[in-house]
Structure 1
Amino acid sequence: MPTTPPARPGDPAYEPHQFRQAAESFGTDAQRYDRARPRYPDALVQRIIAGSPGPDLLDVGCGTGIAGRQFQAAGCRVLGVEPDERMADVARRLGTEVDTATFEAWDPAGREFDAVVAGQAWHWLDPVAGAAKAARILRPGGRLAAFWNAFHMPPEVSEAFVAACRQAAPDVPFLAQAMTQQASDGYQPLFVKAVDGIRAADAFGEPEQWRFDWDRTYTRDAWLDQMPTQGAFTRLPPEKLTQVLEVVGTAIDAMGGSFTMRYTTVAVTSTRAGNTRTSQTA
């Protein structure tokens, strides 16, 4: 689901990066975030690596290092940049080197990279400033790739969850919307802004969109573990969140205790202009 704040995500004037307080809410339970959030398709990781001139990778808004560890396992040398020290601390303990800073304020200290990636995070940056900074630290032919996991809830599941949210939190109407937003509704404005930012940087080739479809089956406990990490729920009062989880859990029990979610991972990507270096091995 989109992790943007609930204020008119379909509005063309909507700018998620102006709501940094929402992004900072994810660190309230960083260990749960790392445990429960879905990973990214291996095919995406491999395609980014294959399209980059070498193994040095910067993970922007790395959070707890979920994406970074996948790239490390595939042979990359990864540095993360993360503004939330709580998230960065988990990433370090799990094996990723992290600088604590916003990407805009971060000092690369002369370092250059073959790829700059951002998993579920690029919308928290000013898209023009972010692309321009990525261009400055990428080697010629280096790849910028911002990607998001969006879920498509089966109709019978979404209907049950909407009813549960309305029952448990009728005074928080955006919860029901957040439980049912589809990729085309909740994420398309983010893709457009990312593409526009890359073009405005005037340092990249024409942006592309890559799409990867996959499924994940959730048990009751697994879904209730993930829900509190989603942007619509991270700022709910604890007693209200408990009510929502109890009612959603009952709905999952009525489905037999599990359900299958369809995910789409979309990457907005482009390469920095210039001659591509000979590929290196890690």
Structure 2
Amino acid sequence: MELRETFDLVASLYQRARPEYPDALYDDLLALTGVAPSARLLEVGCGPGKATLPLARRGFRITAVELGTALAAEARRRLAGFPRVEVVTSSFEEWEPAGAPYDLVYAATAWKWVDPGVRYAKAAALLRPGGRLAVWDAGHAFPAGFDPFFTEIQQVYEALGEREEAWPPPRPEDQPDPHAADFAASGRFEVVGTRRHVWARRYTAEEYLALLDTFSGHIAMAPERREHLYAEIRRRLAARPDGRLTRHWSAVLTVGRRV
């Protein structure tokens, strides 16, 4: 099983455990793309509809493509009250659309899972001249003063051989746009705007473990390693007065115009 297919194993949990994107991100998306509810939108990798529902509520007509059968079913259930939204079960690479070109193609925490040799060329082919491509990811952020729990738990990841990045990571404001270079290198899109959003959520131990169960690396982790890691997380949070941690999130929205 490919890592991108692991998310379908936790379809209902993904919806409950993953955070909602900030309303301001959608405001920026609409401001940078200029789309109105009359536009045709295509979402790549909609999952359970995290980023589909907020735009459906704003009146948009959306075709949402999702690889996972269970995730697509969850999205259809949540979007049943929006007749202008269609959820298609398919990989983006294999999907063949019908009808007029789209005004906006977007992907929320899904673009990196699409074949790099296909994604920009296919998005450009599906867009009208001057149409927009928008992508963003929600990742772990480490602003100044981030929760020291994450420095402590790194020792456990390192002992398990699971740590892959240098520690500590750079602050959000010191990180470049993760998508801009690829947009430019594709030769098909000109970046017209970038916006960064950082927000925080508090988690109990069980809430945080449920979140970890939606990440491909933790899903694919050897069971004995995962059990040891989760036991350490529970133990360390149990020692805190309120038993909670604060995790910061960062989403970088990149919008490009088809050239």
Against the structure 1 CA distance between its residues 84 and 270, is the aligned structure 2 distance closer, same or farther, given a 3 Å change threshold?
Answer: same
Give how far 1:200 is off.
Answer: 4.0
TM-score (norm 2): 0.83
More helix by proportion, 1 or 2? 1
Residues 1:54 and 2:36 aligned together = yes
Match of 1:262 in 2: 248
Which region of structure 1 is more displaced relative to structure 2, 78-87 or 94-103?
94-103
- Note the aligned Cα RMSD (angstroms): 2.7
Give how far 1:128 is off.
Answer: 5.0
Q: Where does structure 1 lack aligned partners over 5 or more consecutive residues?
A: 1-19, 274-282
Distance 1:181 1:164 in 2: 15
Alpha-carbon contact 1:52-1:142 (below 8 Å) kept = no
Against the structure 1 CA distance between its residues 90 and 262, is the aligned structure 2 distance closer, same or farther, given a 3 Å change threshold?
Answer: same
What secondary structure does 2:118 align onto? Answer: helix
Distance 1:152 1:241 in 2: 22
Of all paired residues, the percent bearing the same amino acid is 32
Deviations 1:115-136 (A, max 9, x none): 1111111111233521221122
Match of 2:161 in 1: 173
1:1-282 equivalences under 5 Å are 21-50=2-31, 51-55=33-37, 56-95=40-79, 97-127=86-116, 129-153=118-142, 154=146, 156-165=148-157, 170=159, 172-174=160-162, 176-177=163-164, 182=169, 191=178, 194-256=179-241, 257-273=243-259
Deviations 1:234-275 (A, max 9, x none): 1124454333222211212223311222222112221224xx
Matched residues, number: 245
Distance 1:203 1:129 in 2: 12
Q: Where does structure 2 lack aligned partners over 5 or more consecutive residues?
A: 80-84
Distance 1:212 1:46 in 2: 12
Against the structure 1 CA distance between its residues 60 and 229, is the aligned structure 2 distance closer, same or farther, given a 3 Å change threshold?
Answer: same
Against the structure 1 CA distance between its residues 181 and 222, is the aligned structure 2 distance closer, same or farther, given a 3 Å change threshold?
Answer: farther
Alpha-carbon contact 1:60-1:116 (below 8 Å) kept = yes
Match of 2:82 in 1: none
